[in-house]
Amino acid sequence: MLNFQSPIPLYHQLAEIITAKIRSGKYPPGKAIPSEIELKNRYKIGRPTVRQALDLLVKKDLVIRKRGSGTFVKKNTVKIDLFSLAGTSLAFGAKDISIETTILTAISSIDVKEDNENPFFNSRAFFLSRLTKAETKPVLIEDIFFHPLLFAGIDKIDLAGKSLAQVISDNYYLKPENGRQTFKIVTLSQKNAELLHLEKDDAVLEVKRTLNFPGAKKAVYSRLLCKTDEYAFSQTISGNGK
- For the chain, give the percent of residues with pLDDT over 70: 86
Query: Per residue in 124-172, pLDDT tens?
Result: 999 999 998 888 889 889 999 999 999 999 999 998 878 888 888 889 9
Among candidate residues 83, 85, 238, the one with its CA nearest the CA of residue 174:
85
Q: Which architecture characterizes domain 10-73 according to CATH?
A: Orthogonal Bundle (1.10)
pLDDT at res. 232: 64
Residue 176 has pLDDT above 90, yes or no: no
Residue with the larger pLDDT of the pair 122 and 165: 122
- Break the chain into its structural domains and give their ranges: 10-73, 78-233
**CA distance linking residue 228 with residue 137, whole number of Å:** 12
Distance CA 146, CA 213 (A): 12
Q: What is the pLDDT of residue 169?
A: 86
pLDDT value at 234 more than 70 = no
**Residue 92: what pLDDT?**
65
pLDDT at 226: 86
Contacts 24+ apart (CB under 8 A), 201-207: 202/67, 204/228, 205/233, 207/83, 207/181, 207/182, 207/183
Judged against a pLDDT cut of 60, whether residue 199 lies above it is answered with yes
Using CA atoms, how far apart are residues 222 and 217, in angstroms rounded to an integer? 14
Percent of the chain with pLDDT over 90: 47
**Residue 82 pLDDT more than 90?**
no
C-alpha triplet 223, 224, 227: angle, nearest 5°: 155
For residues 77-91, give the mean pLDDT.
Answer: 54
According to the model, what pLDDT value does residue 241 have?
41
Please list, in sequence order, all residues whose beta carbon lies within 8 angstroms of the beta carbon of residue 183, skipping any fewer than 6 positions away: 205, 206, 207
Q: What is the largest CA-CA distance in the chain?
A: 74
- pLDDT interval class at 235 (50, 70, 90): low
78-233 to CATH, choices 3.40.50.360, 3.10.110.10, 3.40.1410.10, 1.10.150.130: 3.40.1410.10
Residue 29, pLDDT > 90, answer no
